[in-house]
């Protein structure tokens, strides 16, 4: 099994070609981003991916952006999902990373939603990997576990930084859940959270070494499960981003770090980490 890295376009202000140049220079293998709903932009992104031989992961948010429209019904989420699946399919993604559902729904609604969402993915011949994300259905370890128990075919994107802040603790205390859901992990978002936030200022900072180590232990558990299932490739997107995630100085709002430098550091770190793990796995 080998590790492939994807550059997120969250926080990227340049062109698609500039994103491709940055990804290639950092030895990343592809881009993760929403499929644009503008035809010209969609064609442009497709051309950049083809010209630079980059892989693509489609990002999909149902019924809103990263935080859903609170009043949107499950049917409205599913309509949104189908529209974006059709759009994403034009770019031939490896798979779709879906930030879906709503945290406020009861469990039976969650299960029904994901059963229907999976049917839509199959209808459009696309693999959907559903992300663990605050404000969304998979916002806690336990809801995620319970939905996966009911729907054994579902695949997930594991972003444990969200759970760290939702639970106000690292996931070491919830290791039984990590081990149970590991065989369902299809993709990893490589961001490090901590008990009071979804993103440490810099994962190389010694004061956050425990948080980094905790996330890396969890990722090793996911890699082990993927390897046992015969995965030939494990995908990881370093996903440190803006929008209140990136720490800034008071009064000036100056960022305390450079996002692309941080994401490159995380990519290099996990490449080495994966190689070290592979030798002993």
Q: What is the pLDDT of residues 164-191, one digit of tens each?
A: 999 999 999 999 999 999 999 999 999 9
Angle, nearest 10°, between helix axes 259-280 and 209-228? 50
Of 207, 272, 276, 281, residue with least CA distance to 5: 272
Local structure of 163: helix, strand or coil: helix
Angle at alpha carbon of residue 46, lines to 41 and 52, rounded to 5° = 125
Task: Answer whether 189's CB lies under 8 Å from 237's CB.
Answer: yes
**Does residue 25 surpass a pLDDT of 90?**
yes
Residue-wise burial string across 160-197, b where 16 or more C-beta atoms lie within 10 A, e elsewhere: bbbbbbbbeebbeebeebbeebbebbbbbbbbbbbeee
Q: Residue 61: which of 128, 148, 147 has the closest Cα?
A: 128
pTM of the model: 0.97
Q: Give the Å distances, CA to CA, from 281 to 1, 224, 256.
A: 11, 7, 36
Class of 2-280 per CATH?
alpha beta
pLDDT above 70 covers a percentage of the chain that reads 100
| pLDDT bucket at 11, cuts 50 / 70 / 90 | very high
In terms of phi and psi (left: phi > 0; alpha: psi -120 to 50; beta: otherwise), the region of 54 is: beta
Closest CA to 239 of 186, 168, 164, 188: 188
Closest of 146, 157, 85 to residue 111, by C-alpha: 146
Structure tokens at 180: 């149970």
Which among 187, 181, 188 is positioned nearest to 140, based on CA atoms? 181
CB 152 within 8 A of CB 126: no
User: What pLDDT shows up at residue 281?
Assistant: 84
**pLDDT of 66 over the 90 cut:** no
CA 224, CA 218: separation in Å to the nearest integer? 10
The tokens of 9 are what?
Answer: 């376009």
Per residue in 88-127, pLDDT (tens digit) is 999 999 999 999 999 999 999 999 999 999 999 999 999 9
Residue 57 pLDDT > 90, yes or no? Answer: yes
> How do the domains of the chain map onto residue ranges?
2-280
Q: What's the pLDDT score for residue 247?
A: 97
């Amino acid at each position: 099994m080998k590790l492939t890295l994807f550059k997120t376009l969250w926080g990227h202000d340049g062109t698609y070609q500039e994103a491709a140049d940055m990804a290639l220079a950092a030895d990343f293998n592809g881009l993760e981003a929403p499929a644009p709903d503008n035809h010209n932009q969609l064609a442009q992104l497709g051309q950049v991916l083809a010209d630079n031989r980059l892989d693509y992961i489609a990002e999909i948010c149902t019924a809103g952006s990263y935080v859903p429209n609170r009043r949107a019904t499950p049917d409205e989420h599913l309509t949104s999902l189908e529209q974006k699946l059709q759009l994403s399919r034009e770019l031939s993604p490896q798979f779709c990373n879906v930030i879906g559902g709503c945290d406020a729904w009861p469990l039976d609604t969650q299960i029904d939603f994901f059963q229907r969402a999976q049917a839509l993915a199959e209808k459009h011949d696309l693999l959907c990997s559903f992300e663990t994300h605050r404000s969304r259905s998979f916002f806690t370890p336990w809801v995620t576990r319970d939905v996966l128990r009911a729907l054994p075919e579902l695949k997930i994107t594991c972003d444990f930084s969200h759970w760290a802040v939702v639970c106000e603790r690292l996931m070491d205390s919830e290791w039984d859940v990590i081990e149970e859901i590991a065989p369902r992990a299809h993709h990893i978002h490589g961001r490090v959270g901590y008990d009071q936030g979804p993103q440490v200022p810099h994962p190389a900072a010694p004061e956050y070494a425990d948080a980094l180590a905790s996330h890396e232990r969890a990722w090793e558990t996911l890699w082990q499960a993927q390897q046992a299932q015969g995965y030939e490739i494990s995908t990881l997107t370093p996903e440190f981003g803006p929008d209140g995630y990136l720490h800034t100085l008071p009064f000036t709002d100056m960022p305390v770090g450079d996002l692309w430098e941080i994401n490159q550091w995380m990519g290099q770190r996990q490449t080495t980490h994966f190689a070290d793990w592979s030798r002993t796995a």
